[in-house]
Amino acid sequence: MADTVAFSGGTPSAGPRPPAPRWSRPSVRAVPAPEAPLRGVRVAVLNFREPQQSVAGGAEEYAWQVSRHLIAQGASVHFATAREPGQARSERRDGVELRRMGNRYLVYLLVPLWLLLRRRRFDVVIDSMNGVPFFSPLVVRRRTVVICLVHHVHDRQFHAFLPPWLARIGCFVEGPVARLLYRRRTTITVSESSREDLRTRLRWLAPIQVVPNGAPAARPAARHALPGDPALIYLGRLVGHKRVERVVSLAAELGGRRPGLHVHVVGRGPESGALAARAAELEVSGRVHLHGFLSEPDKNAVLGSALLNVTASEFEGWGLTVIEAAASGVPTVAYDVAGLRDSVKDGVTGWLVRDGEGLADVVDRAIGELADPVRRAEIQRACRAWAGEFTWGRTGATITRLIATELPTAGHRDRSAGSPARTADLRLAVGETDPT
């Protein structure tokens, strides 16, 4: 089956018109959408973490936003995930039934067991493969729809953070095992880079649909009294493969050329202590600000006041924080790697660090361009226009269409009303649904 691409953003009403996105919306007959097009559909979302956990990131946000959207379409959703110390085993939030079990390792044993014991209760399973799948096709009924969600290929991550013997096992599971297990199950990924990596590095056999992340709506730039002229920001998890220490080091590397430069780090994670130590080692603690976790209003205020967002990650599925920064009119400097080359439009909404270039040199060049008020205003408009191409409503609507298409042609039973809802009707009903 040929690859299909299932998402496109809308056209923003303000600012220069960006180039047409690579994604195209399927031609679907427009009919009035019913109040709840997925009414009676029972969905299990399996994900390594959930958004309230300490090192949750873009993958968790994606799974949660999709879950909320499916609830709004009438589905019932159970979200099965790991449990951190102090968290309840179960709770209901945003209409989603959360089920937490096991730690970061045991979750891959306990979630399939949980699903096996409830295999007759679900019509659809969204199996998020964060390097390791949940093996859901082995435990559900044959007619249960299983959708595999892959943000990016993890082989390099395995080798970077695991002992060699364990990394080889991880690569074997992610590659040959998952490739065969999910070969007849539609796969969703979030960028063209990830789709290409699935095909070339994992030799993925299943049909793949690209459904990008959503993003917050473009908003007026909130202001916060940030020290630094210029003020750079890193936004995201503080984990090893994000290489945040390279962003912290900019305070020292550019100190001679940009003596007023300050670096602001917003996020939480296990690398926080190491970053503080790195700043002290470089004698730039006074110009590096580790904000930790911030509430949404405070985060937006800090982000909206920065000149430039910088990410040094070595691999991403997409780059959710890049689009979040763009929604505030803040461009990004990032390495030219998979995912980030999809979310950063080089020379338009930011700058990519190519082979042979240094991060500090590209950041310095970007600061120089942004010193021109006309150029800065042009980039800010382009950033907001680009961010406007992506909404969680569009992401959720695309996955709703996919679920409707994947459901058995005989239709699923509307258990709340006791009457059948035909798949063909569902396909038409959600064809143009695009709530925000």
Q: Which residue has the higher pLDDT, 268 or 113?
A: 113
Task: Tell me 33's DSSP state.
Answer: P
Query: pLDDT (tens digit, 9 = 90+) per residue, 120-148?
Result: 999 999 999 988 999 999 999 999 999 99
| Average pLDDT estimate for 274-292 | 95
Residue 183 has pLDDT above 80, yes or no: yes
pLDDT score at 412:
45
Q: If we measure between CA atoms, which residue out of 277, 370, 271 comes closest to residue 312?
A: 271
Helix (H) or strand (E) holding 209: strand 208-210
pLDDT in tens, 48-89: 999 988 888 888 999 999 999 999 999 999 999 999 999 999
pLDDT at 3 over 90: no
Q: How far apart are CA 21 and CA 336, in angstroms?
A: 19
pLDDT of residue 314: 83
The answer to whether residue 232 scores a pLDDT higher than 60 is yes
Domains for the chain: give ranges and CATH numbers: 4-214+390-429 (3.40.50.2000), 231-387 (3.40.50.2000)
pLDDT tops 90 at residue 9: no
Cα angle 373, 379, 380; round to 5: 85
Cα 308 to Cα 299: distance, rounded to the nearest angstrom: 15
The radius of gyration computed from the CA coordinates of the chain, to the nearest angstrom, equals 22
Q: Which two tokens stand for residue 419?
A: 């009457």
Q: Provide mean pLDDT across the span 325-337.
A: 95
Q: Read off the DSSP letter of residue 29.
A: -
41 has a pLDDT exceeding 80: yes
